[in-house]
Amino acid sequence: MRINIVKKDGQAWVRVLIKHPMETGMRKDKGTGKVIPAHFIKSVVLAHNNDIVVNAKCGVAVSKDPFFFFKIKGVNSGDVIKINWEDNTGKSEAAEEKVA
């Protein structure tokens, strides 16, 4: 996952890009004709220091390699933004970044 944080007017502009197929479970494999099982991110959680500030729930309609942009208020230099996602297979990833 790639995180980009820009500080602007006391806010942290957090952009997140996650590599994920976001399979809907409705597509068929063109070669075999079999349905490709759903595989998608269900939850993306952002925390500022240790406070959860965003809890986003996703469906299959979020595009492949999801991108999210949120603006967190009251952020100071040195604060930590943590991001955590989990998909429908239980796979998850966590990352954190210090605000410059």
Partner 1 sequence: MNTNVKRRLMLKGTLLASMAGVAASAGLLVPSKVLAVWSQAAFDATTVDSALNALVGSSSLTDSPDIKIKAPAIAENGAVVNILVSTTITGVESMSILVEKNASPLALSADISKNVEPFVKTRVKIGKTSKVLGVVKAGGKLYSTSKQVKVTIGGCGG
What is residue 35's DSSP assignment? B
| Contact predicate 26/35, CB 8 Å | yes
Query: Least CB distance from residue 2 to partner 1, whole Å?
Result: 14
**Bridge partners of residue 28, in order along the sequence:** 35
Of residues 31-60, those binding partner 1 (CB under 8 A): 36, 42-43, 45, 47-48, 50-60
Q: How many residues bind partner 1 (CB under 8 A)?
A: 43
How far apart are alpha carbons 56 and 74 in whole angstroms? Answer: 20
- Site of interaction with partner 1 (CB under 8 A): 11, 24, 26-30, 36, 42-43, 45, 47-48, 50-64, 66-74, 82, 84, 86, 90, 92, 94
